[in-house]
Structure 1
Amino acid sequence: MTAPLEMHVGQLGQTQQLARGGTATIYLVPDLRLSGFNGVRFVYKKYKEATKLGAGPSLTTGLSNFVRFRDRLPSTQRDAWDARIIWPVSVVLDENGAADGVIMRLIPDQYFHDFTKRAGGVNRKPREIETLFGDDETALRKGLTKVDLTTRFRLIRAIAAAYGMMHKENVVVGDISGRNIIYDPDPARPTIMVVDVDSARIRGNRAVFGMQPHTPNWQPPEALAASAALMRATKSNPPMPDDDRDRLRNRWSIQSTQTDVYKFALMVVRILDNGRGGAVNRDPHKARRILKAQAGDEAADLLDASLAENEKQRPTMRQWYDLLQQRRAGRHGRPAPPRPRPQAAGPATAQPDNQYLANGHRVGKWQWVEGQGWVRQSLGARHNP
């Protein structure tokens, strides 16, 4: 027996506000008990009126399909899913039968932290992965413990496993950022959970809220390029044709497993090359050196491929997971011949032309491209003599 896929507001009983965001308010529902969830506590994510209005009349159907997706997973797969992902388990309907919000499991306690405030006291909230992006001094001031390189690698591997599982089930995460992964840094068994997934999209379906947003400083090159082109279009004379504008808007908004891989690679860069300004870091040079030293040339090449300007040249999350699992088991392939390391970051950092990405494409130099960030240009597919 599983939880009801839909329920009415009146069935929730007492609620207690926990947090308020831009799109919804989160309430604890202390008395709610659902079949198939022994000892689990739940929260009610109530969408704001503006959020529901923006989603349109398809919101109820979209959320119902979202909930049913998890319910259709085989039980063993669903258990693995729930261990890594806070996915909605029921749609809450208002008095008119329209979607008002969703029921989700309460985040487990080990993912919370008492953050020290500057003015004194603490603020208890989830430990978001973006706390690993900054400098150690700020982290210590907030009461966070220093997370060593080994633990950071294990957390990256756990994120790759979660995203890989989602891709295997044809789910595009979409709005990946430093705030929708939470983590437990316990060195004995560091773990993560994916949260705020109602903006994800099941492939072949429309996103529940119409489109999947990009968090600022996480946009892939194709979205940045489309955004820059749209900005130029506002000043063009004669005006850009409407069809061309629509194509650019689609280019900006449409997300895929390839945009997920790019954003995951940004997360790897920011976890490994942490420090002041780390939350907006797009320069892969230091993270690449760390990956190469810790996991070999193939890992460094995989980062290069993931940050490719052309999304079709990016690898899969499965490739990331497999490689990081090999490192965990101590299985390293035969070392590749040594190659020059990237030079220090600059406006046009040169590298040899005879390198290859993990997907077999030959690459040129890293370049900072305005409106796109650090990109490594492809010179075409590899041709064996």
Structure 2
Amino acid sequence: MAFTAHRLDRQRGSLALEPESLGEGGQGVVTRVLGPEKLVYKEYMPHAGTVNGRALTNLVDFGQNLAPVDRHLLLKHCAWPVARVVGGGRVMGFLMPEVPAEFYGTIGGTSKLAELQYLLFKPNWAWQDLHQPDITGRAEIALLAARLIDLLHGHGLVLGDISFRNLLWRPAPPYKMFVLDCDGFRRHGGEPVLRQAHTPDWDDPYQPATGPDLDTDRYKLALLMGRILACNAQVRPGKELELLSGLEPQVATAIAELFARAGGPRGSRPIAAEWAQAILGRRRIIVKRSPIRQVSEPAERVAIHLPGATRGQQPISTPTYQPSSRTPPSTPRISMPMPPLRSVPSSSPSVTRRSLPVVLSPAGSDARSHSMTLGERITTSDAFADQRQISPSAISDDQVTMLIDSLAAGGGRLAVAAAATLIQEPVERTRLLMGAAKRLLNIDGYRVLTLKDGDQTVALNLQLLKEQFLDEEVDP
């Protein structure tokens, strides 16, 4: 593949690096960059193979093209490529944010990254001082992971290698997530930067010959959910899921049902938003959806290795530890600070549903319902409130209300340029906000809101909108 320069490329010789690397992974060596940017440099090793410079450019451009607020959130919660590093007419590696200090914990007397693996085993002597969340905390962490993957999938990004090694958690409340190995992500239907790595015991038995895709990610997400909430690093769909005690019965039942469903055929596996809904205790509207298409098709929205200690690719029975001299440093869209679950009552250790706004009072409810526009009914509904919590979004409720009402008045179609005038945003910004609106309105992946005509027209399925948000019966 011919080398093509990019406007954000940095020359390898221009980097001021610390003399000692932070660690070495399966594909590259990570070294801290001196200066105020708080970046690290991952240089690919020769045995990693040929670097697809265009694929890496696509990841850099994805982050650069986000709205400033979304970009800040992406870089705060993901080790996302911000610039390629080149030299001698080839791509040598990339720059990414350094893992924040809050994602470290004391393990074996040393500060180490708090990988998700420390939630999947009973603590041993080496990490007995590491904070261990109760079932409520585990549910919050699982919810954050589901939301994060939902946002990535919503941008059409395939993670590929989802495992206990490339997701970090903040080992203290309020819990947070940080994603590693982001250079292993790729657009659905696109090519990866390098041949994608896989973690043993985190494989999809039905992965297609073409490699991991969104459905493969959904299977691995089920592994993640079940293993966090059962504290069992080996459990798989098809086996009995023995959840830790303390979850509310309806939450435990919903999680068990989703876990069992993940063992089914391709196209039937739960999407990330369904896991978030189950953990929140939300009553779901079940609508049959057809299996996913087996051909690659570009999606409308879009794996680094550890910037730190060595990361092997072998199965573990208990987490392994290696001495490290590393001292921790003081999104379209992606990881963003997620509102925590409402704290549970002291009399119950279970996860509770958050309080949902009441739209209509018993007295005069019919009158109020008829006086509200369709957009107002949607954005003040319980289902929409849940979607707001599951998929935080840059588009405001008022903008969504105006959009729905205008689409309803126009028979379900509206030009993007007209939508931009309506919500008082630039056209290019409006296209991004339509992606945000889709994440709010497209419950469980159903195409309530879509962009058509080369992203020139917004289309709304009014009947499906009412079915999903206003609890109207779905015709068989």
* TM-score between both structures, scaled by the size of structure 2: 0.55
| Contact 1:127 1:184 (C-alpha < 8 Å) held by counterparts | yes
Q: 2:274 aligns with which of 293, 305, 319?
A: 319
RMSD between aligned residues: 2.8
Aligned sequence identity (%): 27
Q: Distance between the aligned counterparts of 2:126 and 2:251, measured in 1?
A: 26
- Measured against aligned partners, the alpha-carbon deviations of 1:77-122 in whole angstroms (never above 9, x if no partner) come to 223322332211010001x121101101110001112321xxxxx3
Q: Distance between the aligned counterparts of 2:193 and 2:229, measured in 1?
A: 33
Q: 1:172 aligns with which of 154, 158, 165?
A: 158
- Measured against aligned partners, the alpha-carbon deviations of 1:165-188 in whole angstroms (never above 9, x if no partner) come to 10011101110110000010322x
Shift of 1:14: 3.1
Q: Distance between the aligned counterparts of 1:135 and 1:324, measured in 2?
A: 23
| 1:215 paired to 2:174 | no
Q: Distance between the aligned counterparts of 1:291 and 1:262, measured in 2?
A: 22
Q: Distance between the aligned counterparts of 1:27 and 1:110, measured in 2?
A: 19
Q: Which residue of the partner structure matches residue 178 of structure 2?
A: 193
User: Which runs of 5 or more structure 1 residues have no equivalent in the other structure?
Assistant: 34-39, 117-121, 224-250, 334-357, 360-383
- Match of 1:14, as an amino acid? L
Q: Distance between the aligned counterparts of 2:27 and 2:198, measured in 1?
A: 15
| Contact 2:107 2:127 (C-alpha < 8 Å) held by counterparts | no
Q: Which residue of the partner structure matches residue 21 of structure 1?
A: 25
CA separation of 1:331/1:21 partners in 2, compared to 1, >3 Å: closer, same or farther? closer
Shift of 1:288: 8.9
CA separation of 1:280/1:296 partners in 2, compared to 1, >3 Å: closer, same or farther? closer
Q: Distance between the aligned counterparts of 2:265 and 2:40, measured in 1?
A: 40
Q: Which residue of the partner structure matches residue 11 of structure 2?
A: 8
Shift of 1:326: 5.0
CA separation of 1:29/1:331 partners in 2, compared to 1, >3 Å: closer, same or farther? closer
Q: Distance between the aligned counterparts of 2:203 and 2:234, measured in 1?
A: 11
Q: Which residue of the partner structure matches residue 83 of structure 1?
A: 76
Shift of 1:294: 6.4
- Measured against aligned partners, the alpha-carbon deviations of 1:153-201 in whole angstroms (never above 9, x if no partner) come to 10001111110110011101110110000010322x1111111111111
CA separation of 1:262/1:179 partners in 2, compared to 1, >3 Å: closer, same or farther? same
Q: Which residue of the partner structure matches residue 272 of structure 1?
A: 229
* TM-score between both structures, scaled by the size of structure 1: 0.67
| Contact 1:222 1:309 (C-alpha < 8 Å) held by counterparts | no
Q: 1:104 aligns with which of 96, 100, 116?
A: 96
CA separation of 1:213/1:17 partners in 2, compared to 1, >3 Å: closer, same or farther? closer
User: Which runs of 5 or more structure 2 residues have no equivalent in the other structure?
Assistant: 1-5, 283-340, 343-352, 357-443, 446-474
| Contact 2:114 2:171 (C-alpha < 8 Å) held by counterparts | no
| Contact 2:235 2:241 (C-alpha < 8 Å) held by counterparts | no
* Higher strand fraction (1 or 2): 1
| 1:281 paired to 2:267 | no
Q: Distance between the aligned counterparts of 1:304 and 1:332, measured in 2?
A: 29
Q: 1:182 aligns with which of 150, 153, 168?
A: 168
Paired residues, number: 285
What are the equivalent positions in structure 2 for 1:64-79 lying under 5 Å apart?
64-79=57-72
- Measured against aligned partners, the alpha-carbon deviations of 1:254-310 in whole angstroms (never above 9, x if no partner) come to 212211111111112211222xxx3333244213987663625333322222x2230
What SS does the corresponding residue of 1:103 show, helix, strand or coil?
A: strand
Q: Distance between the aligned counterparts of 1:183 and 1:152, measured in 2?
A: 10
Q: 1:124 aligns with which of 106, 111, 115?
A: 111
